[in-house]
Amino acid sequence: MTLRASTILAECSDVLVALRGDDVSISGLGSAECCKPGDLVFVDRPEFMAVPVERGVAVFCAPQKIADQLPASGITILIASDITMARACIAQRYFDRDLRPADEPPRHPDAVIHETAEVADSAWIGPGAVVGARVVIGPGSVLLAGVIVEHDARIGTNVTLHPGVVVGFACTLGDDVIVQAGTVIGSEGFGFAQDKQRKHHRIPQLGNVCVADRVRIGANCCIDRGTHGATSIGAGSILDNLCHVAHNVQIGEDCILTAMLCVAGSTKIGNRVVTSGQVGIIDHLTIGDDVYLLHRAGVTQDVKAPGAYAGVPLLPLKEHIKSQAQLRRLNKMREQIKSLEERLRRLEG
């Protein structure tokens, strides 16, 4: 692939403001630590400039304050108003993985597509994929190897399902959704009744999962269908790998939920909620908008006020930090108390 710097400037003008230097050709995308001549390299800190300059990369993409520190001649620079957004725009537009191999047909002969399924002409169905009865798959969607879409599910426009994804019966995915390998959407929720002998009896889970537009779900996640009604994930939300979302959970819009999150049944999570790794949330709670759950937070009660929280029991972040600092001093405090007790006994003695 050969690309001109001026083309990138024109097509990503919402995040690029200027081109300084010659209009050179770009043949690849490289990192500041591992790059070669012809590469485009993103630089957001001064300490990352030396190696790309030495190796003679084709183009730097940098914010204005970094561009001002680069040599005034002999270097081509795309100046970005937002370097992170520029990286996303350029990498997606020109260097992203091609999910539609030119040497393979849009319907792989090893795919199984039910005669009642409605698959858009521009959709791509990979080897070993199974598309069930009355499934609808929208234009531009891609089902890679081994994907299973069960009966009556609906897949929107420009959806990407990576290898081994399972979309359960009657579940719905909106437009521009990406689901990484091994994830199950619409697995049966954890519902059981216990008799007097403490034997367990399965309660069928008859709802579905509704995933809105622009959601990205990582690898090996489990999203359980509702007992009745839907488990839902709002538009623009992002789930990392190894997340578990139980039956009838409602997740709002533009959330960022990182690895090993576990949310129990019927909990409601608001908009723009952020969780760090290994956060656990029990059932039937309400988490408000703009809440940050950090440091393996264990959430056992509603969190209504925006802000950062952490720990078990859950505390506002500043209180959690103070309590952790005090916890580290307990041994020293214990020794001090023992010393004071001994002195008191001697004085009384």
What distance in Å separates the CA atoms of residue 279 and residue 29, rounded to the nearest whole number? 35
3-state helix, strand, coil in the chain (%, to 5): 20, 30, 50
Boundary residue ending a domain (95, 120, 137): 95
Domain that holds residue 72: 3-95
Question: 337 in a domain, yes or no?
Answer: no
> Does the pLDDT value for residue 2 go beyond 80?
no
Shared-domain flag, residues 86 and 128: no
Instruction: Please give the Cα distance from 316 to 298 (Å, whole number).
Output: 12
- CATH code for the domain in which residue 287 is found: 2.160.10.10
Mean pLDDT (whole number) for 44-73: 88
Confidence of residue 54 (pLDDT cuts 50, 70, 90): confident
* pLDDT tens-digit readout, 247-262: 999 999 999 999 999 9
Specify the pTM.
Answer: 0.89
Distance CA 307, CA 45 (A): 29
Looking up tokens 């598309």, which residue turns up? 131
Is there a domain that residue 333 lies in?
A: no
- List the catalytic residue out of 162, 244, 247, 295: 247
The pLDDT of residue 329 is 81
**Strands 178-179 and 216-217, sheet pairing:** parallel
Q: Enter the tokens of residue 318.
A: 């500043």
Residues 216 and 160 in one domain: yes
User: Rounded to whole angstroms, how far apart are CA atoms 349 and 326?
Assistant: 33
User: Cα–Cα distance between 12 and 85 in angstroms, integer?
Assistant: 10
Domains identified in the chain, total number: 2
- 242 shares a domain with 147: yes
In the annotation, is 244 catalytic?
no
Same domain for 220 and 77:
no
Domain boundary among 60, 95, 130: 95
Question: Does one domain contain both 132 and 242?
Answer: yes
CATH number of residue 33's parent domain = 3.40.1390.10
Higher pLDDT, 340 or 271: 271
Instruction: Please state, in angstroms and rounded to a whole number, the distance separating the CA atoms of residues 74 and 255.
Output: 43
Does a structural domain hold residue 317?
Answer: yes
What digits encode the pLDDT tens for the residues 270-311? 999 999 999 999 999 999 999 999 999 999 999 999 999 999
Both 78 and 136 in one domain: the answer is no
**Whole-number pLDDT of residue 1:** 61
